[in-house]
Structure 1
Amino acid sequence: MTLLDDFLVRALLAGVGVVVAAAPLGCFVVWRKMAYYGDATAHAAILGVAFSLAFNISVFAGVFAVALAMALVVSALDNRKTSMDTMLGVLSHSALAIGLVAVSLVDGVRVDLMSYLFGDILAVGRGDIALIWAGALIVLFFLWWRWSGLLTATLNPDLAIAAGISPRREQLLLAGALAIVVALAISVVGVLLISALLLIPPATARPFAQTPERMAILATGIGTISVFLGIVAAFTFDTPTGPTIVSCAALLFAVSSLAARLMGRS
């Protein structure tokens, strides 16, 4: 019997793999104030599930394609003079509803919607772990490669243009990385909780990070702790694992917010 034969070890490895990709990327979502952006991309994932079932392709490929398409649509709308919060809200909920309807129309396939909506991290196999970590390493390489450009375009678009960096290009690259994270996370925490994993660890780390790099590292650590505590709590109290992981992350956020207030940080 090897270590990977233990389903709790596989769950932990899968959860940490998702966090390693989601937490640093989520920092850019927080800095750009794009919470609804993550929601819209994540909710589109269920439509990707419907396409993968209908055309008999891998769930990862279907979810990635649809999440990427949604991310590109949202990026295109970002340059228009529209109320972005309203538009993203419409896209987010519409994508989720259309996806649920599409899944119900797929003939000859029994679908456990709960596993796609809230994840089933305890059921991940060795192949899932390999796919998750391969995607996580791709996202980490992308962030290492484009960190300076992404950061400059996020914090000061005018300075980025002056330095020869295209904010539009950086946003499209960010959209592609976000689509990878959504495709990775759907089996772990599900569609409805992906955006929470993107947002809560960076938001928890923000008051205690003096530099963007420290915030990304601290967010990854907080996300890893959330995964560990969530799996242990779910196993102990027999609760749904994905929501329990997010609940632990939310608890850490509450504690960090209180600590930041006591220390006079914002």
Structure 2
Amino acid sequence: MLDDFLTRATLGGVGLTLATGPLGSFVIWRRMAYFGDATAHAAILGVALAYGFGLSVYLGTLAVALAMALTVASLSGRGHAMDTVLGVLAHSALAFGLVAASFLSGLRVDLSAFLFGDILAVSRADLGVIWGGSALVAAVLAWRWQGLLTATVNEELAQASGLDPRRERLVLVLALALTVAVAIKIVGALLIAALLIVPAAAARQLARSPETMALGATLIGALAVLGGLQASLAFDTPAGPSIVAVAAGIFALTLMVRRKT
């Protein structure tokens, strides 16, 4: 069954939603959308470094994404204007990544796959990385769920409850970095933030609790993967953007449903 490229693509996309669903909910609650962009853009530099040093793309991407996440997390507590810092870091990392890629023969052709994703090229080894990484992110979020929620709602309340808001923020940024490393081959650096945000935003319109929103975001993400792959096959469109487009369509439907209720 796994010899079918479409089956592997479907399994890879659905596996990714195990992480993007609950993590995307926290991204929305904490207004971290730009943070996701910065980490994803930095991943391109990781791709270039991985090719340059002969490392695994996943390893290079994860290393740079972690460095970006830790840098932003440390700056967030020092009074810097975070939208400005994130803007500088995001675009600088993307620019350095593209410049570095220009020095590597053969990479410029492949780079578009990392910018926009190439889910149809997912291999059996990729499936192991995707499902393993997503399961790890989902397990960490489930383990720290109550603490993360408390710190998200009110940091003073979290401190009064014996929690360290900085630790909870660090858990989130590390989970985000791992998700970016796993997702870059599926939807690409330019669309990772969209896959995190759009399904969660759609689920938010219908959810009655944080838990149902996280579950709903996961289910909507999986539907977007299935619908996007079918649309890509039927209309010969790029698979990654098609998945995000279907997720955006579902978001529009949830807005209509909410207005009628």
TM-score under structure 2 normalisation?
Answer: 0.97
Deviation at 1:80, TM superposition (A): 2.4
User: Which residue pairs with 2:198 in the alignment?
Assistant: 200
Superposed CA offset, 1:204-246 (max 9, x none): 0002111111100000000000000000000000000000000
Code of the residue aligned with 2:137 in structure 1: it is V
> SS where residue 2 of structure 2 aligns?
helix
Deviation at 1:262, TM superposition (A): 2.2
2:3 is the alignment partner of 1:5: yes
Superposed CA offset, 1:142-199 (max 9, x none): 0111111111111111111011110001111111111110000001000000000110
User: Which residue pairs with 2:247 in the alignment?
Assistant: 249
2:133 is the alignment partner of 1:120: no
User: Which residue pairs with 2:166 in the alignment?
Assistant: 168
**Alpha-carbon distance between aligned partners in 2 of 1:89 and 1:35, rounded to the nearest angstrom:** 12
Identity of aligned residues (%): 58
**Alpha-carbon distance between aligned partners in 2 of 1:207 and 1:236, rounded to the nearest angstrom:** 30
User: Which residue pairs with 1:149 in the alignment?
Assistant: 147
Q: 2:66 aligns with which of 50, 65, 68?
A: 68
Do the aligned partners of 2:47 and 2:61 also contact (CA within 8 Å) in 1?
Answer: yes
> SS where residue 33 of structure 1 aligns?
coil
**Alpha-carbon distance between aligned partners in 1 of 2:236 and 2:25, rounded to the nearest angstrom:** 32
> SS where residue 187 of structure 1 aligns?
coil
Change in CA separation of 1:225 and 1:187 when aligned onto 2, cut-off 3 Å: same
- Runs of 4+ in structure 1 deviating by more than 6 angstroms, as ranges, are none
User: Which residue pairs with 1:51 in the alignment?
Assistant: 49
**Alpha-carbon distance between aligned partners in 1 of 2:197 and 2:42, rounded to the nearest angstrom:** 18
Q: How many residues end up aligned between the 2 structures?
A: 261
TM-score under structure 1 normalisation?
Answer: 0.95
Unaligned runs of 5+ in 1: none
Aligned residues: CA RMSD: 1.1
User: Which residue pairs with 1:136 in the alignment?
Assistant: 134
Code of the residue aligned with 1:165 in structure 2: it is L
Unaligned runs of 5+ in 2: none
